[in-house]
Amino acid sequence: MATTYALPDFIADLDRITRDESSPHVITEKVEPLLGRLIRNPAALPAEYRTRGPGGGRGRYMLHRTPRFNITAVVWAPGDVAAAHNHDTWGVIGVIENRIEETRYRVTPDTPGHARLEVMRVMRHEPGAISRLVPGDEVHRMHNPTSHDTVEIHVYGKDLVGLERKTWSEDGAEKRLVTSKYLNC
């Protein structure tokens, strides 16, 4: 039953899927309905992972970490924004509580250190919504425009620590986004 699908079931399915498949499109297509089942189970994410981080900032919690995928929880405080950034891997994001606004961009390199960012679409995800990140469509900005915390589960195909990622300001100025600290957005 959908309500009994829990984190260990999701981990076992991800383990199998990422062992059998290598295409980010196929993997994220298969993971999408499973993450949907997981986030419909109210007990899937304990309360300790639904709170903000130290100082009231973004909550980031590692739920499962392996070489082929990792599963984390993210809590966005009201007004919290992650500027446009890439991931360098596939991703599947599910909203558990409240809403998130996600803007997807097409990025065209311009001059060194600068790119042209075109908004492809702006999505407002409600609880139960799933968002997939695949090569060619994985640059996004995240924003919690509400007055409540937003809780999500993120799944990525690589460990994001130390990856050569990028972030862009509104005017297209590019910065490296590489850190030894775990970033799961």
Residues making contact with Fe ion (CB under 5 A): 185
| Among the listed residues 16, 13, 20, the one whose alpha carbon sits nearest the alpha carbon of residue 36 | 13
Q: Kindly tell me which of 37 and 143 has the beta carbon lying closer to Fe ion.
A: 143
Q: Kindly tell me which of 151 and 185 has the beta carbon lying closer to Fe ion.
A: 185
| Among the listed residues 86, 77, 64, 54, the one whose alpha carbon sits nearest the alpha carbon of residue 15 | 64
Q: Kindly tell me which of 10 and 76 has the beta carbon lying closer to Fe ion.
A: 76
Min dist. Cβ of residue 152 to Fe ion (A): 10
Vertex 83: Cα angle to 114 and 52 (nearest 5) = 155
Min dist. Cβ of residue 97 to Fe ion (A): 18
Look up residue 146 and give its DSSP letter.
S
Q: For residue 16, what are the contacts with CB-CB under 8 A and spacing of at least 6?
A: none
Q: Kindly tell me which of 46 and 135 has the beta carbon lying closer to Fe ion.
A: 135
Min dist. Cβ of residue 87 to Fe ion (A): 6
Min dist. Cβ of residue 134 to Fe ion (A): 13
Q: Where is 71: in which H helix or E strand?
A: strand 70-76
Ranked by CB distance to Fe ion, the top (closest) residue is: 185
State how far the Cα of 35 lies from the Cα of 175, in Å rounded to an integer. Answer: 31
